[in-house]
Amino acid sequence: LVDGGSRCAGRVEVLHRGQWGTVCDDGWDMRDAAVVCRELRCGEAVDALSDAHFGPGSGTVWMVDVDCSGSESTLKKCQSTLWGKHACNQSKDAGVICSGVRLVGGSHCSGRVEVLHGETWSTVCDADFDQQDAEVVCRELGCGLPVEVLGAAAFGRGEGQVWSEELHCRGNESQIHFCPTSSSLKHNCSHHNDVGLVCADSVRLVNGSSHCAGRVEVLLRGQWRTVCGDGWDMRDAAVVALGRAFLAFVKTHF
């Protein structure tokens, strides 16, 4: 991934016959992006981008009409048009944003906070994580606003390293790796101190007359999806309405 500001975001490039080339955005979607993020060990796909969002590449557009199932281990294993045999150009280069952070032990929008550092996922100390950091994590994962920051390994103890830097997010960054950090930790932390986070927005109402009416959509694996009406009743609607009321409370009080 090139020109995205971190190793987990940018224009997609593939190596073929000793030459780096780009990928055409025809048919490019979140399943394709998911394979790229998995191959690079960059967490979940946050967005699949088109029209040379990260700038046009150079050389050959190697892959066109990429069609991944989402389970492939590498992008080259996905179906695509014959390499280099097409009319696509660099103005349609595909891009990807992967999450450099993940929430483990809960759901996509809740769990133990783990940050990708190099090739390793590390947990974060609860004493070195605040509301501004939480806002960035929830935003990067497409999960709305933070509801609660939990200490003392509330979502279980992680494995491996505890991150050795302290985050100093301003709260408006799009990704956690754009936040300033310092190596002067004030606390001696272990996995007993792994921080957890609950984000709010995993359901939304779209195209209604107000924010409390509309088509029900839920956030699943970084992509908004609709809900089938089979068996849909007032009890289901009550859960959605309660969730919207809670989110309104959060937005007012945070």
pLDDT tens for the chain, 254 residues: list them. 999 888 889 999 999 888 999 999 998 999 999 999 999 988 888 889 999 999 999 888 999 999 999 889 999 999 988 676 667 889 999 999 988 888 988 877 889 999 987 778 889 998 889 999 999 999 888 787 888 899 989 899 998 888 878 888 999 888 888 888 887 656 678 899 999 998 876 677 888 887 788 998 876 545 678 889 999 999 888 877 765 554 454 444 44
CATH number of the domain encompassing residue 81: 3.10.250.10
Strands (E), 118-150: 120-123, 146-150
In contact, 128 and 189? CB cutoff 8 Å: yes
Place of tokens 């025809």: 26
Distances (CA, A) of 83 to 29, 65, 71: 19, 11, 21
Domain containing 210 equals 203-253
The gap between the terminal CA atoms of the chain, to the nearest Å, is: 35
My answer on whether 141 and 113 are in the same domain is: yes
pLDDT at 251 (0 to 100): 45
My answer on whether 221 and 186 are in the same domain is: no
User: Which residues, including other chains, have CB under 8 Å from residue 59's CB and lie 6 or more apart?
Assistant: 19, 20, 21, 22
My answer on whether 123 and 194 are in the same domain is: yes
Strands (E), 9-99: 9-11, 13-16, 19-23, 45-49, 61-63, 95-98
Distance between CA 112 and CA 155 in Å, rounded?
5
My answer on whether 125 and 188 are in the same domain is: yes
pLDDT at 250 (0 to 100): 42
